[in-house]
Amino acid sequence: MTETYDDGNIFARILRGEIPAETVYEDDHTIAIMDVMPQADGHVLVIPKAPARNLLDAPAEALGPLLATAQRLARAVKSAFAADGVTLNQFNEPAAGQSVFHLHIHVIPRFDGVPLKPHSGDMADPETLKANAEKIRAALG
């Protein structure tokens, strides 16, 4: 059974300006924000502005800009944090780990031998998120 898009999800509310977020990048089609429960310093979420529950129901025309922004952010995050690599995660439906039902891509800097922190319910310090966002914005140019 295909689930429907719920425009009350937290990312839809962020896109409408109802909830604040630490924005790193924005264009006509996408926004990138700091994950408030980061698995590593510099963990960013890339979100299309088009409403889509996940990849399975996203309009095809939203995917190109989404992936282009994810690539741009992956390069910036890797540079900003002098990371050894970058993990991009994208989940579809609860069985696959999706917990916010608006399509998004996690961009997470990675370091050799350093495991990811759990994606817990603990929110990061807003000042740390702001400082990490500044590093990424500087790397974006």
- For residue 134, give every residue at least 6 positions away whose Cβ sits within 8 Å of its Cβ, in sequence order, or none: none
Residue linked to tokens 């689930």: 3
Helices (H), 19-118: 60-80
Query: Which active-site residues does the annotation give?
Result: 104
